[in-house]
Amino acid sequence: MESLENHLVDKENGIIKLLDPPFYNGKLEPGYIKSYLPGVRENGGQYTHAAIWAIIAESMLGNGNKSNELYKMINPIEHARTKEAASKYKVEPYVISADIYGAGNLIGRGGWTWYTGSSSWFYKTGIEYILGLKIEKGILSLNPCIPKEWEEYQIRYKFGRSIYNIKLKNPNGKNKGVKTFKVNGNEIEEKKIKLEDDGKVYEIEVELG
């Protein structure tokens, strides 16, 4: 991950490259990716699937500040904050681009947009790995990895006819580590709850410690 940070994260252009430098005129033959121009798609550009997997890795390592920084950095809206940036990006700032060019005079230009694979991974990363909400086999748990300066956040989750209002508090400035998990005022030692489609409202309070 340190190597990725040093060689593949391009903060100036807001991209996370797949590899660097791109293949061009050398003797190495990596396969079809060399048919792309240097910096385009897999040949040294941002291949957004892999960029998002890097963010998941930072979250799994407990680096909440870094994972959030990278998540925000590759958000397409960040590529259109100014007229100059939007002119360079050239594609829609409200959908995920499957790739962003990473070299030469095309650097920072978006490629294939409306790509559901990248967008679903981006959504999954924000919900499951940063905010920490996981639903598995009808069991709800919360295991976030967030920036230390986040004091709290709320999630409203609907399951059938039921509503789960989740409020997380971070009074001690932690990246992760659930200390308490309460449902309707009762502490749950297992720190997870079975979802019920019974039309009730459940108040879940989680605190990091």
Other beta carbons within 10 angstroms of residue 192's beta carbon come to 16
pLDDT of residue 28: 87
pLDDT of residue 115: 85
pLDDT of residue 26: 86
pLDDT of residue 25: 85
pLDDT of residue 165: 98
As a whole number of angstroms, the distance between CA 42 and CA 27 comes to: 18
pLDDT of residue 121: 97
Domain 133-208: give its CATH superfamily.
Maltose phosphorylase, domain 3 (2.60.420.10)
Tell me the domain boundaries of the chain: 2-128, 133-208
- Could you tell me if 115 and 98 are in contact, meaning their C-beta atoms sit under 8 angstroms apart? yes
- Could you tell me if 7 and 73 are in contact, meaning their C-beta atoms sit under 8 angstroms apart? no
Burial of 43 (0-12, 13-18, 19+ CB in 10 A): buried
pLDDT of residue 141: 97
pLDDT of residue 128: 98
Summarised one tens digit per residue, pLDDT across range 103-140 is: 988 999 999 999 889 999 999 999 999 999 999 999 99
As a whole number of angstroms, the distance between CA 154 and CA 171 comes to: 15
Please report, in tens digits, the pLDDT of each residue of the chain (209 residues total): 999 999 999 999 999 999 999 998 888 889 998 988 999 999 999 999 999 999 999 999 999 999 999 999 999 999 999 999 999 999 999 999 999 999 988 999 999 999 889 999 999 999 999 999 999 999 999 999 999 999 999 999 999 999 999 999 999 999 999 999 999 999 999 999 999 999 999 999 999 99
pLDDT of residue 122: 97
